[in-house]
Amino acid sequence: DTGVSQDPRHKITKRGQNVTFRCDPISEHNRLYWYRQTLGQGPEFLTYFQNEAQLEKSRLLSDRFSAERPKGSFSTLEIQRTEQGDSAMYLCASSLAPWDTQYFGPGTRLTVL
Amino acid sequence: ILNVEQSPQSLHVQEGDSTNFTCSFPSSNFYALHWYRWETAKSPEALFVMTLNGDEKKKGRISATLNTKEGYSYLYIKGSQPEDSATYLCAFSSFEGSQGNLIFGKGTKLSVKP
């Protein structure tokens, strides 16, 4: 088991462009979470999936953000019409069940110019 | 609004020093308290999960305690080494609201000088 992986590790984009990130969780984990960390803050919850179902979205997740987890395996997080305020580290985590230890990937650092 | 506070924000110690950090969290609807270590360019690494008042966990030179009644946890590092340099995050999970999503503090950044 190689742990949670995320791709890309870094993304630089211009304001107004769309970006997509991918997360591959630990294979048997049903739960998948997305968090965002901005400068000087701790990671903040964005959304989570139980298998392929997206069960909750934070108020932080504006209409420009969409997340999917087709077939309950990998997940993608897309940001449309990026803004400078979207610059952050986007972290993905997975767990076997609710309230179990969450295992994190290395994150995707997004810079919006 | 659920809030998790960590102190200090940053800490600089010499190799061999022992150190400790504090995490305070809401004591109502408590489910678990998590500690993570996050080294630059790596994934946050789970250190401990504690659920019971009075829990004490140990992993090598690192240990943690939990007081759910007053809403705080301490993380101790004995004989700090340069490889302990990292940001230490605590996170709280609650029975209230989402099933298991974590509420993080801002972290304590530890630098250990050789």
Of A42, A55, A102, the CB nearest to B107: A42
3-state helix, strand, coil in chain A (%, to 5): 5, 50, 45
pLDDT for position A13: 98
How many Å apart are CA B35 and CA B22, to the nearest integer? 11
pLDDT digits (tens, 9 = 90+) for B31-54: 899 999 999 999 999 999 999 999
Q: Tell whether B26 is within 8 A of chain A (Cβ).
A: no
> Mean pLDDT across the stretch B93-114?
87
Mean pLDDT for all residues in chain B: 93
What was the pLDDT predicted at B97?
62
Inter-residue contact B64 to B73 (CB < 8 Å): yes
pLDDT one-digit tens code per residue, A40-89: 999 999 999 999 999 888 888 889 999 999 988 999 999 999 999 999 99
CA distance A1 to chain B (A): 15
Express each pLDDT in B10-35 by its tens digit: 999 999 999 999 999 998 888 899 99
Closest approach of A42 to chain B, Cα-based (Å): 4
B contacts of A31 (beta carbons < 8 Å): 100
In percent, how much of chain A has pLDDT > 90? 85
